């Protein structure tokens, strides 16, 4: 089949099954949005945990240095 014929058949099928096409697009939008949101939450929480660990590490090093000097 030629590409033009394939495009015509695809558009005809989309037009004949409007509800199915709309639901498919809605599913894709919801799925992609949820993946983007979860990746954002994951990277944000990773940054927060790293900052907390760095803060604890700095406190530990400072306290240890103070006790060793005594």
DSSP-assigned letters across all residues of 1-67: --HHHHHHHHHHHHHHTHHHHHHHHHHHHHHHHHHHHHHHHHHHHHHHHHHHHHHHHHHHHHHHHHH
Contact in structure between 21 and 14 (CB atoms under 8 Å): yes
Summarised one tens digit per residue, pLDDT across range 49-63 is: 888 887 777 776 666
CA distance 32 to 18: 21
pTM assigned to the model:
0.59
Q: Give the integer Cα–Cα distance in Å for 34 and 40.
A: 10
Q: Quote the pLDDT of residue 31.
A: 97
pLDDT per position as a tens digit, 11-69: 999 899 999 999 999 999 999 999 999 999 988 888 888 888 877 777 766 666 666 55
């Amino acid at each position: 089949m030629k590409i033009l014929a394939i495009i015509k058949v695809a558009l005809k099928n989309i037009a004949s099954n409007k509800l199915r096409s709309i639901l498919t697009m809605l599913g894709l939008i919801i799925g992609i949005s949820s993946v983007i949101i979860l990746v954002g939450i994951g990277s944000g929480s990773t940054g927060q945990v790293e900052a907390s660990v760095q803060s604890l590490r700095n406190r530990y090093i400072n306290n240890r240095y103070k006790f060793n000097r005594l």
